[in-house]
Every structure is written in C-alpha cells, then in structure tokens.
Amino acid sequence: MEDVVLHVHGRAEGLRTFIETTEKLLEPFTCRPPPVFAPWFSDTAASGKAPPIRPAKCPPVLSGGHHEQSRADVCGPGGQAAAAREDRPLPSTTPSPKRSWSVLASRGAVQRSPSLSKRFRGSVALHGLHPQQRSKWVISQHNCGPQDLEQVWRAVQRCSLATANANIQRERAEIWVFCDLLHSEQVGRVLKERLELAGTIGLFVHRRGRVFSL
C-alpha cells in the first residue's frame, strides 16, 4: 500500500479540516496493515542453534606436515580400517622454503626527496618508469666479500632504512631490498657504504629486469 501525501497551498489554519476530509474520502478503500517483519533465519537464542552462515563442520586439521587421508583411503572392504595404510605417512615432495622477512621501514625516520644522479635519471627515462614504482636491490653472495650471506643479512637488519624493507632468499642465496624508484639510488648507496659490499649490486624492476647498477 502506498502512502498518501496531502499537499496544502497557502496558510495552515484549516489544515485539520483538510485532513479530516481526506480521511473520509479514503474510508471506502481497504487499509491493510503492513506484515510483521520476520527474519530469514530463526531466533538462535530460542532455538539454541548456530546461525546458518556458520559452517556445520569444523575445518580439517593438518598435523605433522602430512595431508590427512580420506576415510575411503584408510578403510578396507566393508568399512574395516586398514591399520597398515593408516599408519604410513604420505611422503613430502616439496621442501618448505627458507625465507625470512624481518626488516621494516623505520616509522620515526624523516623521508626527504633525494637528489638523483644524471645517470640514474637517464635510466629511469629510458625504461619509462614512474618515480613511485616499486623496485629491488639484489645482494648476492659475490657482493659479500669476506663475509657470508647470513652475516650481511644480520647487518641489513641493523640498518635504518626509512623507505625500504628487505628479505633473504636463502634458496637463491640472495638478499632483496625493496624500495620505490625515487629513493632507490639513495638506498643503494647506503647499502654499499654501511655493508661494505664488494662488486656491483643491481636494481631490478618487475617486467623490466635490471635497470640500474651501483
């Protein structure tokens, strides 16, 4: 049923009379009260049941690094459990990656726009890169000199890199230091100076490869 809106022009002295007249004109029409609202789910407090959006069963639990076998796999004919198949764990074919994230940006450090070298600006223009595009410096084993990669990684963790974060890729024997292009040259020089890196480190951009080196 639609609402009835009464529009009155002029002063409102006779508003009550207009309302009474309108009510009398509407009396022949059927007035149906709106239905009582009923939620699409039952009252959980009264029924003692969980809401339907909650899963009926708990998720499976994986323990010991092995996938659970289904009941069809561990049961023999007639539903009898086969102990020999149940006790034998599934072989693990994929080794867990040895990767560590721990270096984060310093929240209290002040970020200033660095001065960029002419060579760096030329490389950015050549590859059509944006100053806020994400990039990464790659430190490999040959950059460590007399140190090993783990020693350099501990030194990276102690560095105050206000605009960068880093991780160690042990399976690749590399340390990746992520930053935006605007601060990447400054970050690279800090890394080479504080970590006393040997050789040349490369700056990489996704889908562009190596775009700069120090």
Spell out the per-residue pLDDT of the chain, length 214, in tens: 566 777 777 666 677 887 888 888 888 777 777 777 676 655 555 556 655 566 677 777 765 544 444 444 433 444 444 444 644 554 455 555 555 555 544 444 435 567 889 999 999 999 898 888 999 999 999 999 888 999 999 999 888 777 789 999 999 999 999 999 999 999 999 999 999 999 999 999 988 899 999 9
SS3 (DSSP) at 113: coil
State the pLDDT at residue 86.
Answer: 45
State the pLDDT at residue 30.
Answer: 74
Q: Which residues, at least 6 apart from 124, have a Cβ–Cβ distance to it below 8 Å? A: 116, 131, 181, 211
State the pLDDT at residue 110.
Answer: 39
State the pLDDT at residue 131.
Answer: 87
d(CA 17, CA 110): 73
State the pLDDT at residue 80.
Answer: 45
Q: Residue 149's closest CA among 172, 131, 126, 127?
A: 172
State the pLDDT at residue 78.
Answer: 46
